[in-house]
Structure 1
């Protein structure tokens, strides 16, 4: 069995963790969540969610990874052999995230290449549907979106090239280059956006507080969901990355750096996005509420419209934005890929290079299946189910396993040994009692909403995912480990 990799410095770990956290959701999701959940008043549940969920759970993950210095599947097996299958279920779900995440990244790569000539034309919605992301018309499943297919292949080659190298030379080096570059590019875009005519209109629209919404439980659920998915909590990424840390690392200090970096990035990006929407509204006379969107609609339809009316500046900002999204996406994809890579290598005794090659081929094949004419529809179905049903449930199960069965108190000394910021009884109480209750409530509400609105085709896809993951997890669990 290959030896456990190690970061050459704490800085590599911090950049890798920031890279895993700062992803597409920070750029195209947070601004909409902020706007649609009370504007400025949303910062109250948002900050509370960071304090009672984001920071405490990441501290737990760092403590688990650093204490065991093993892959996630081996950690769960050491705690109790029956828990290994739980580990594989989570790891496989996160691997599925990698698969569809690479498809979303391929859309961005198509737009990055198109941004030099503005191939999207004036009807940006039609360009996305016909060329890049497809539609929900199942009849379109019979053909491939060729630009997306080609870009998926290219991106999997990039992911393989980075991941097959030693963790520090691969992920560490790339993160130390891409994350500072991402922050610089986005800072330029945000600052320029704030100088545009109508920027104040956009910012006012974003931050206009609705204090009565604080009494709505859905606002609080939105805040906690944003923190979970923005920080990539509970997906074995932090545990895996922390297992590569050298001795004498300041674990809780690192958590605060990563969380602060993630939150500052997404809040500042939201200002830049709404400043741009304000500019579009004032320039075109379109009510700003008609422009506000999230996800693919914002980045791949609305923003190309904005760049179209910017003139020469748009020709500069468009490649910068799509390059920034690509940088954020690649570092996040590396994080999603690593738990499967680490656990498979440890289980089968394969080298890192061999494991990366095999998993990249498997992942690429499934990503290619998602590049048909219903690409965006399939990605949306899988994303909602994997996150709302699978990962959210397994985060709660981890709280119970690490908090109660293994004992959260066993991590306190390790966490406090070299850290400036100390944890104690309050942190242990949050992990044992508060988080399981909050997560259970969120899961029940999410499942009700998910299946009440699901069509028959969507339920079939969900069932295929469940059966496939359970079968694969069972098989992987039954394989005798290379070394116990």
Structure 2
């Protein structure tokens, strides 16, 4: 294997995989999903989802990448040349994730700069709308939010700098620094949050179980969806990273380390988030139900409001939080970029640095187009469509290709050779039958939710995305056939 495409040890791989898994969703999504889906009772479907989907599918992805040691597009092409088109569709969808993900990181970087003097003022919502993320007012589509534009451009330079280096010297080296630092920062924030007056109010609100919700199918779907996006399942990241592993790697052991680290991070972070929300409720007298939100509303509007009333300690916690989000986001963005970067470099027989340069320029240009006055609206539309329509469907299709067409018998010896955890018939049963059914069901529910209340402009954006993905996939597939 090309040296620039190999980890020097399993440690680099583990940190890179943790970095790809631990991202924005762990910080701003999990706590809301836990709260709104039965509180403490949600841990039952959550743990079951990890056991029958998260761990088994990551076993499969690690085995595929380690066995083939090739780009994702070439792996599917080797199984059947017709499947290369599917591979390019997936890596293109995942590349689109990088494009809008970098815009969110641009917002965070702007908040990081603003946190030193609380530039958001007394109205964090107005600051976000006017300066950072814009609104859904289509009349603002031609106006650029210059501070966000500059931050996004800067972050693409950083991403290019890391991604263009050899795998171990770039992603591996930076992950080994950023991930421990991220865990230390979040550890400090969580411990401090638990000492705040009113923290108990938040924890009780978060964990109070609603056992009746276990009979609601939507709670189970929410648990499986959380695991899919939290672990970045099926997005060719794990397959690509595993293809760089050295011989004698303990694949099953590595999966358990990554899954445990990811779950521990998001559960602990949920305690920290709700402790801080409880403090706000206790101090300002605001009901918890009015504070609890997810995504940008929680991080960029609710939290700045809380920092405003924290006093001097808020001046410390605010920069640390936005720095932690930045570190989590950069390592995840590297993971989202890698499947396209690897496939693109292998396809066109070019150096990693050149491929990273081309993709960073293309990706950066599209990211900048998302920094207009409707930035947050566009990001929300693209995020919903790419994940609920594109990636979910392609994960299910991968399951069918690897389990039913290629065959799982090839991967069992690979997984069992060095790992302490052994797999067998139960794993085959899950991958061949249980998982595809769940994935297709979640996809259908997602499609109903996605298009049920979609506005005309949102449908136009969805059509543009699917056309772009199809064109890129067709062109790249045909180029390969002519070479």
TM bracket, shorter-chain basis? over 0.9
Asked whether 1:51 is paired with 2:51, we answer yes
8 Å contact kept, 1:50–1:227: yes
Structure 2: distance between partners of 1:258 and 1:480: 34
Structure 1: distance between partners of 2:235 and 2:278: 36
Counterparts of residues 299-310 of structure 1 (less than 5 Å): 299-310=299-310
Structure 1, unaligned stretches of length 5 or more?
A: none
Q: Secondary structure at the match of 1:142?
A: coil
Counterparts of residues 407-422 of structure 1 (less than 5 Å): 407-422=407-422
Aligned to 1:185: 185
Structure 1: distance between partners of 2:482 and 2:25: 37
Q: Secondary structure at the match of 2:5?
A: coil
Q: CA deviation at 1:480?
A: 2.9
8 Å contact kept, 2:136–2:377: yes
Structure 1: distance between partners of 2:17 and 2:95: 17
Aligned to 1:139: 139
Structure 1 residues 2 and 9, CA, compared in 2 at 3 Å: closer, same or farther? closer
Structure 2: distance between partners of 1:77 and 1:55: 26
Q: Secondary structure at the match of 1:479?
A: helix
Structure 1 residues 479 and 4, CA, compared in 2 at 3 Å: closer, same or farther? farther
Q: CA deviation at 1:160?
A: 0.3
Q: CA deviation at 1:2?
A: 6.1
8 Å contact kept, 2:93–2:386: yes
Q: How big is each residue's C-alpha offset from its partner over 1:256-315, in whole Å with a ceiling of 9 and x where there is no partner? A: 000000000000000000000000001001111100010000000000011111111000
Q: CA deviation at 1:458?
A: 0.4
Q: Secondary structure at the match of 1:286?
A: coil
Q: CA deviation at 1:408?
A: 1.0
Structure 1: distance between partners of 2:157 and 2:446: 35
Asked whether 1:10 is paired with 2:21, we answer no
Structure 2: distance between partners of 1:71 and 1:216: 40
Aligned to 1:160: 160
Q: CA deviation at 1:139?
A: 0.4
Q: CA deviation at 1:142?
A: 1.3
Aligned to 1:462: 462
Aligned to 1:266: 266
8 Å contact kept, 1:2–1:349: no
Asked whether 1:364 is paired with 2:358, we answer no
Structure 2: distance between partners of 1:437 and 1:310: 48
Q: Structure 2-normalised TM-score?
A: 0.99
Structure 1 residues 250 and 137, CA, compared in 2 at 3 Å: closer, same or farther? same
Aligned to 2:431: 431
8 Å contact kept, 1:346–1:481: no
Asked whether 1:26 is paired with 2:26, we answer yes
Aligned to 1:105: 105
Structure 2: distance between partners of 1:44 and 1:134: 38
Q: Structure 1-normalised TM-score?
A: 0.99
Aligned to 1:224: 224
Q: CA deviation at 1:114?
A: 0.3
Asked whether 1:349 is paired with 2:346, we answer no
Aligned to 1:249: 249
Q: How big is each residue's C-alpha offset from its partner over 1:298-351, in whole Å with a ceiling of 9 and x where there is no partner? A: 000000011111111000000000000000000000000000000000000011
Question: Between Structure 1 and Structure 2, how many residues are aligned?
Answer: 483
Structure 2: distance between partners of 1:270 and 1:172: 27
Aligned to 1:374: 374
Aligned to 2:37: 37
8 Å contact kept, 1:349–1:482: no
Structure 2, unaligned stretches of length 5 or more?
A: none
Q: CA deviation at 1:240?
A: 0.2
Aligned to 1:319: 319
Cα RMSD (Å): 1.0
8 Å contact kept, 1:2–1:345: no
Structure 1: distance between partners of 2:482 and 2:426: 40
Aligned to 1:214: 214
8 Å contact kept, 1:346–1:482: no
Q: Secondary structure at the match of 1:419?
A: coil
Structure 2: distance between partners of 1:481 and 1:164: 27
Q: Secondary structure at the match of 2:411?
A: helix
Q: How big is each residue's C-alpha offset from its partner over 1:396-417, in whole Å with a ceiling of 9 and x where there is no partner? A: 0000000010001110000100
Structure 2: distance between partners of 1:263 and 1:300: 24
